[in-house]
Structure 1
Amino acid sequence: MTFVTGTDTDVGKTVTTAALAATFAGSGATVAAYKPTQTGVGPGERADMAEVVRLSGISTVREGIRLRDPMAPVAAAVRAESPLPTLEQHMENIMTLAGDHSHVLVEGAGGLLVELDAQGHTLAELAVRVCSIATLQIVLVCRSGLGTLNHTQLTLEALQHRQLPPAGLVIGSWPSTPSYIEQSNLEYLQAVGTPFLGLLPEGAARLAPATFRQHAPTWFPCSPHQP
């Protein structure tokens, strides 16, 4: 099982989830994906899990809840006057998928410590719960530009504090012409002590799905394993 989290919102978690799904499926795994909370999308609108299906070709995806406002889950649920799923409900959804698939990808909302329910539980707490009953790896998606080093180190420290060792780092969008700062950040992230899994080219989500699936494994020269 793989949790995909990010140093922030809009860092490339969904396209990374899709690329990992395509990579695992291409090696023969049966793959499902789960999004505990989807915000900023109304009924009938295309959401992150639909994008994972389109790009990766997997057929089984689930959402814990969908909320219209593009806000953190707790705030969006307040505006919608809708109760959020509990951590136990997320666990049940994930383990149901795990019972029917050889690999489950769980894509977080925002960063690692964004609250998922009214009790203040975060994706980190959900990961701890899953770790107690299943083998789990955590992929951390980072930005390429200025500010990424601090955000990455803070998230790694939060994972370490909870005894959740990350499987590795991924840069979610790497420009075709990187700046000096981006090149320097890449060198730092490759040497930070956490495995560096790879980087996704800028605009990967605009590729035709067949092309995306063909190239996805090449974006992870140090591919995470399939626990």
Structure 2
Amino acid sequence: MAILVVTGTGTEIGKTVATAAVATVAAGDGRSVAVLKPAQTGVGADEPGDAAEVVRLAGPVTAAELARFPEPLAPATAARRAGLAPVGPGAVAEAAEKLAAEHDLVLVEGAGGLLVRFDDEGGTLADAARLLGAPVLVVTPAGLGTLNATALTAEALRARRIECAGVLVGSWPARPDLAERCNLADLPEAAAAPLLGAVPEGAGALPPADFRAAARSWLAPQLGGTWDASAFTARMQPGHPAV
């Protein structure tokens, strides 16, 4: 897996921290890692963006950003309002391929969900993934509503013949409610893909050294980690002695 595209089922669900966790584990295994943020929105020119946050948490990985737009909007809208050129799927794919020629793993982190528009022609992160022939990791929230959003994202991937690498819970609560516990068992079915981890809520606020020490325990072996989906899901089910 030279290139992995990371998308969310929405915004503010832990996608950047999840990307950092994957980068941390890969780098810890001695792999050279690059993270590509095609379109950063809602961040000023001198402020750190998502790619910089991955570097802060994960350590020495390469960060690349193709465009930055100041307003917190969909990339196409933000570019249009700023009077700047948008970033289309072709440019994203070209940049990712160049990074892949020099790195063992390239993580392409999208903006919001899979079908958010990147340009006025309707180009999306899904189009970039299809051009790359790259699998997509879907980061999703834990709570009520996540099954529908995850199923829709997975269906969109299948319709485009793009591989869904799996689903990752971007922010697992310290005190999960009934829906969150039950969703663990239902998410793989909704996505028709494996559950590949659960990043604890607040993980991004950890000191970087603590983040790097713990990241492997949040991710399944498919992502280089030690997290056991079956054991974690069973332990979190209502009625289990640990609950």
TM-score after normalising by structure 2: 0.88
Q: Is the 8 A contact 1:173 1:200 kept in 2?
A: yes
One-letter identity of the residue aligned with 2:82: A
Secondary structure of 1:70 counterpart: coil
1:191 shift after superposition: 4.5
In structure 1, the partner of 2:148 is 150
In structure 2, the partner of 1:137 is 135
1:182 shift after superposition: 0.8
- Quote the sequence identity (%): 47
Q: Deviations over 1:116-155 (max 9, x none)?
A: 1221110000000001xxxx22110011111111000000
1:4 shift after superposition: 0.4
In structure 1, the partner of 2:212 is 213
- Structure 1: gaps spanning 5 or more residues: none
Q: Is the 8 A contact 1:32 1:58 kept in 2?
A: no
One-letter identity of the residue aligned with 2:14: G
- In 2, the alpha carbon distance for the partners of 1:190 and 1:158 equals 16
In structure 2, the partner of 1:6 is 8
Q: Is the 8 A contact 1:196 1:222 kept in 2?
A: no
RCO higher in structure (CA 8 A, sep ≥6):
1
In structure 2, the partner of 1:163 is 161
Q: Deviations over 1:73-107 (max 9, x none)?
A: 11111111111133322222111111111110000
- In 1, the alpha carbon distance for the partners of 2:163 and 2:150 equals 14
1:50 shift after superposition: 0.8
- In 1, the alpha carbon distance for the partners of 2:70 and 2:5 equals 24
The alignment's C-alpha RMSD in Å is 1.2
- In 2, the alpha carbon distance for the partners of 1:166 and 1:210 equals 31
One-letter identity of the residue aligned with 1:116: F
Secondary structure of 2:101 counterpart: helix
Secondary structure of 1:38 counterpart: strand
Secondary structure of 2:222 counterpart: coil
- In 1, the alpha carbon distance for the partners of 2:114 and 2:87 equals 17
In structure 2, the partner of 1:20 is 22
Secondary structure of 1:189 counterpart: helix
Q: Is the 8 A contact 1:167 1:224 kept in 2?
A: no
Residue 85 of structure 1 is aligned with which of 87, 103, 115? 87
- Structure 2: gaps spanning 5 or more residues: 225-243
Secondary structure of 2:223 counterpart: coil
TM-score after normalising by structure 1: 0.94
1:171 shift after superposition: 0.4
One-letter identity of the residue aligned with 2:166: G
Q: What aligned pairs does 1:1-227 form with structure 2 within 5 A after superposition?
A: 1-131=3-133, 136-192=134-190, 193-224=192-223
Secondary structure of 1:121 counterpart: coil
- In 1, the alpha carbon distance for the partners of 2:215 and 2:107 equals 15
1:160 shift after superposition: 0.6
One-letter identity of the residue aligned with 1:53: V
Q: Is the 8 A contact 1:14 1:52 kept in 2?
A: yes
1:59 shift after superposition: 3.3
Aligned length: 221
- In 1, the alpha carbon distance for the partners of 2:203 and 2:73 equals 25
